[in-house]
Amino acid sequence: MAMAQKRSILIFSLRFAVFLFCVLYPRLIYGIHLGGDWNWERSGSIKSFLGVRDLNQRNVYERNRIFFNEERFRVQGVLTHPHFRLDFAEEAYLFIERDNPSPLSIPDLSPTSAWKAKWTLLKRKDVTLIGKLNLLSAQFIFGDFKWVVGKQVIATGVGQIFTAVSQVQRYLFDFIDPEFPKTEDAVTVIWTGPLQLEARFLPKAPEQKEQNFHLRVKGNKNNFDLALTSGRSDDKFYLGLETAGNIGEGLIRGEWVGYDDKGKHYIQGLLGFDYVFSPKWNGKLELFYNGFGSNRDYVFEQFIHRSAPFRGQWYGGLILSWEIHPLLKSHWINIVNLQDPSTLMHLYFNYSLTNNLDILLGQFFNVGNSKSEWGGRIAISPPNFELGIPNITYAALRWYY
């Protein structure tokens, strides 16, 4: 075994020991008072997934159907003081899945972070163990100023389904239960006065040439939030405008962003509407324009812009939630490529067994023609190889402590 792999396993073993200590030691199950104005709280989750993937592919993998088991472990904590806050979250993923050989080396098209915070600790024929630092940030509060340093949640834009400006990696479209938001390395300064001013520095990722930054000025006019944004994201300068406000019983959201990439200009825009129909029904609807997309045949290649992992240009998104019973809720998520047309759908049910134990049953399925983004397959070089989004049936158990 290589020295680097031994070191990675040792580091993970120490982290996992801390994880078990936090879970099993009774005194740390709840928040504790450390004296003075200091407080410590700890929580986490264990999630177990079982399911089957029906692969939408041609000549890429040996099998078209793969059964899988995934175990996710998360421990998180927060140390607070009136002028200070420290957040951390450590995760481990255990994948058990029958090996499915491929004659191709499929590239990973997901974006990377500025600093490595994810490690493959064990990889065997049918088993993979991954460790990940998901969150580690310190907040310093001085009057109206707040500084945040470290791996943190990047809050930008008004989109709930789509994103017009972001430096953050996205979950894959077929990722089950993306409960915890993705984070990114950054330094953030926020001033809360008559106007809220935000400045954020995001170190460049390995595939980027320039450092990134976000600037945001936010105010309120006639009960509508208005924000002017600017900065550089994924080596492109941008200028944007955001707005959000209530109209009757609903909330309308809008965002426009223009990008300049070495003389080439792109536009991202979205319009959203949220509505609570009743105490049991609510929904979100968004229309999204992706200026980085194509209106021609798609190519399996790296996306032009990291915050726009879509092949086409015009999209619609819908989220519906219905409380069937106080213990049973249903969720419908739908993304539609309006040009293909094709659609990616995710329906799942969540039943609460206890206050901290849930069971989920869900289904991903795609509908579209043979060359569409969702229901179809995208050609991979060399010829006769095609790959699309799989259909997934799954069950999950979530325990929170």
Which tokens belong to 391?
Answer: 């259909």
Q: Are 389 and 174 in contact (CB under 8 A)?
A: yes
Q: Answer yes or no: is 18 within a domain.
A: no
Please give the average per-residue pLDDT across 170-194, as a whole number: 92
Q: Answer yes or no: is 16 within a domain.
A: no
Within 13 Å of residue 258, how many CA atoms lie on the same side as its CB? 6
Q: Answer yes or no: is 197 within a domain.
A: yes
Q: Kindly list the distances between the CA atom of residue 171 and the CA atoms of 182, 206, 400, in Å, as whole numbers in the listed order.
A: 8, 19, 22
Whether the pLDDT of residue 237 is over 70: the answer is yes
Comparing 89 with 205, the larger pLDDT belongs to: 89
CATH number at residue 177: 2.40.160.100
In this structure, what DSSP letter does residue 389 have?
Answer: P
Whether the pLDDT of residue 28 is over 80: the answer is no
Q: Answer yes or no: is 157 within a domain.
A: yes
Whether the pLDDT of residue 116 is over 50: the answer is yes
Whether the pLDDT of residue 250 is over 60: the answer is yes
Q: What is the pLDDT of residues 63-83, one digit of tens each?
A: 999 999 999 999 999 999 999
What is the phi/psi pair of residue 218, to 5°? -125, 135
Coil, helix or strand at residue 323: strand
Which tokens belong to 23?
Answer: 């879970």
Quick one: how many helices (H) and strands (E) in the chain? 1, 23
Q: Are 286 and 271 in contact (CB under 8 A)?
A: yes
Q: What is the pLDDT of residues 121-148, one digit of tens each?
A: 999 889 999 999 999 999 999 999 999 9
Q: What is the pLDDT of residues 275-326, one digit of tens each?
A: 999 999 999 999 999 999 988 888 888 888 888 889 999 999 999 999 999 9
Q: Answer yes or no: is 267 within a domain.
A: yes
Closest of 156, 300, 299 to residue 233, by C-alpha = 156
For residue 35, name the pLDDT band (cuts at 50, 70, 90): low
For residue 13, name the pLDDT band (cuts at 50, 70, 90): low
Q: Answer yes or no: is 182 within a domain.
A: yes
Please give the average per-residue pLDDT across 18-35, as a whole number: 51
Q: What is the pLDDT of residues 354-392, one digit of tens each?
A: 999 999 999 999 999 988 999 999 988 888 899 999 999
Amino acid letter for position 390: P
Percent of all residues in the chain with a pLDDT value above 70, rounded to a whole number:
91
For residue 29, name the pLDDT band (cuts at 50, 70, 90): very low
User: What residues have CB less than 8 Å from 354, skipping those under 6 apart?
Assistant: none
Give CA–CA dist 281/56, Å, rounded.
33
For residue 32, name the pLDDT band (cuts at 50, 70, 90): low
**pLDDT score at 254:** 97
Give CA–CA dist 111/207, Å, rounded.
8
Whether the pLDDT of residue 327 is over 80: the answer is yes
- Helix/strand/coil percentages in the chain, nearest 5: 5, 55, 35
Q: Name beta bridge partners: 337.
A: 315, 342
Angle (nearest 5°) at CA 215 between 212 and 219: 160
Please give the average per-residue pLDDT across 207-236, as a whole number: 93
In this structure, what DSSP letter does residue 307 have?
Answer: T
Reading phi first (left if > 0) and then psi (alpha if -120 to 50, else beta), residue 327 is in alpha
Q: Answer yes or no: is 100 within a domain.
A: yes
User: What residues have CB less than 8 Å from 154, skipping those under 6 apart?
Assistant: 166, 167, 168, 183, 184, 186, 200, 202, 214
Amino acid letter for position 191: W
Q: Answer yes or no: is 9 within a domain.
A: no
Percent of all residues in the chain with a pLDDT value above 90, rounded to a whole number:
71
Please give the average per-residue pLDDT across 324-351, as a whole number: 96
Give CA–CA dist 47/125, Å, rounded.
23
Please give the average per-residue pLDDT across 155-163, as a whole number: 88
**pLDDT score at 354:** 94
**pLDDT score at 285:** 97
Please give the average per-residue pLDDT across 15-42, as a whole number: 60
Whether the pLDDT of residue 23 is over 50: the answer is no
Q: Name beta bridge partners: 151.
A: 136, 185
In this structure, what DSSP letter does residue 11 have?
Answer: H
Residue ranges making up the domain that contains 273: 39-400
SS (H, E, C) 181-218: CCCEEEEEEEEECCCEEEEEEECCCCCCCCCEEEEEEE
Please give the average per-residue pLDDT across 162-168, as a whole number: 84
**pLDDT score at 350:** 97
For residue 393, name the pLDDT band (cuts at 50, 70, 90): very high
Query: How many structural domains is the chain composed of?
Result: 1
Q: Kindly list the distances between the CA atom of residue 82 and the CA atoms of 85, 240, 330, in Å, as whole numbers in the listed order.
A: 8, 34, 39
pLDDT, mean over the chain: 89
Q: Kindly list the distances between the CA atom of residue 206 and the CA atoms of 152, 210, 257, 292, in Å, as whole numbers in the listed order.
A: 19, 10, 25, 21
